[in-house]
Amino acid sequence: MRRLPPLTAIEAFVQVARLGSIKAAAEELALSSPALSRRVQSLERFIGKPLFERRHQALRLNDDGERLLSAIAPALDAMTDAVETMTSGAELLRLRLGVLPLFATQRLMPKLPALRRKHPELHLDVDTGGYGVTRLGEGLDAAIVLARDVDPGLYARRLDRNRVHVIGARSLLEGPDPITRPEQLSKLTALVHRDMVETFTAWRAAAGVPELEPLAIDHFDSGTLMLEAAAQGLGVAFMLESHFEAAQDPRLVQLFDLTVESQYSYWFCCRPRALTQRAVRIFHDWLIEALGAEAD
């Protein structure tokens, strides 16, 4: 049988790779930083090559480290899960997930029955209270957020790429003065989500009317209410294409045939060390597969 490096060295390497810090990994494994460093170095000596780029106090995986992590991390996770199953008296796993209501309604809930069938042990505590990123580690294990980008100190995976649509009531296309040109928006109220505050200004620039000013700009923290407000004729909503398509509301129409790429995307995010939790790993892997997401 071929020799293997000590399991403790492998565990140390995986933790440092995932957390990006000797100090954080040492705290997770209840070791001193020097002791953890020695374990990583022993693995590098066993393999015969460095696995990290060392920059001051930060560590970053090199190409060899990336290949090793992708090969051994799933096996280590499987071993950890097997031991947890044998030693834990509880069979249920629980994930505290922050998610915006519209994403939950349109894209998450319809897929959750498949998750339940695949992982009946996983249960979700769903929180739609907003500010998901700031509450990670303090009330939330993970969050699905709408943002231009995410704090680089967090683990983040982009879930989609989208376009902006101007969504209004079908009645706006009917009558003696139908809305067919962007300039006509000066007579209407723009409805904008608080998590996408730059959507309107980006859209008007891309549409070639950078000086356009609507009658007013009303802000919402609920995409569901934005769609309803648009359907009721209270204004036109600047929202993602996926929101419009998933709504399937016959009262709503896309007002202009313009392709404007959105600066905002949905992201799955969590603190790096949360990926060591089985519930977070299961949900993350399932979500990426279910949405067909592509990372940057």
Q: Is 236 helix (H, G, I), strand (E, B) or coil?
A: strand
The structure tokens 């990372």 sit at: 295
**125 CB-side CA count, 13 A:** 11
The DSSP bridge partners found for residue 61 are 52
**DSSP assignment of 135-178, as one string?**
GBTTTBSEEEEEES---TTSEEEE----EEEEEEEGGGGSSSS-
According to the model, what pLDDT value does residue 285 have? 93
CA distance 193 to 283: 27
Comparing CA positions, the residue from 185, 295, 191, 207 lying closest to residue 243 is: 191
Domains 7-87 and 93-160+265-291 share a fold: no
User: Where along the chain do its domains lie?
Assistant: 7-87, 93-160+265-291, 163-261
The DSSP bridge partners found for residue 192 are 219
Q: Tell me the helix, strand and coil percentages in the chain, rounded to 5.
A: 45, 20, 30
Domain 7-87 has what CATH class?
Answer: mainly alpha
Q: What global pTM score does this model have?
A: 0.67
What Å distances lie between residue 203 and 105, 218, 243, 255, CA to CA? Answer: 25, 16, 16, 13
pLDDT in tens, 46-71: 999 999 887 766 678 899 988 998 88
pLDDT in tens, 1-40: 567 888 889 988 988 888 778 887 888 788 888 898 999 9
Q: 130: pLDDT confidence band, cut at 50, 70 and 90?
A: confident
- Decide: 144 and 132 in contact? Cβ < 8 Å: yes
According to the model, what pLDDT value does residue 77 have? 74
According to the model, what pLDDT value does residue 252 have? 96
Range scoring the smallest mean pLDDT among 60-69, 80-89, 155-164, 238-247: 80-89
According to the model, what pLDDT value does residue 141 have? 93
Q: How many residues does the chain have?
A: 296
CA distance 87 to 131: 36
Span 255-263, average pLDDT:
88
Q: Which CATH number fits domain 163-261: 3.20.20.70, 3.40.190.10, 1.10.10.10, 3.40.50.620?
A: 3.40.190.10
According to the model, what pLDDT value does residue 88 have? 55
Q: Which CATH number fits domain 93-160+265-291: 3.40.190.10, 3.40.640.10, 3.30.390.30, 3.30.565.10?
A: 3.40.190.10
Q: Is the pLDDT of residue 202 over 80?
A: yes
Q: Which helix (H) or strand (E) holds 68?
A: helix 63-87
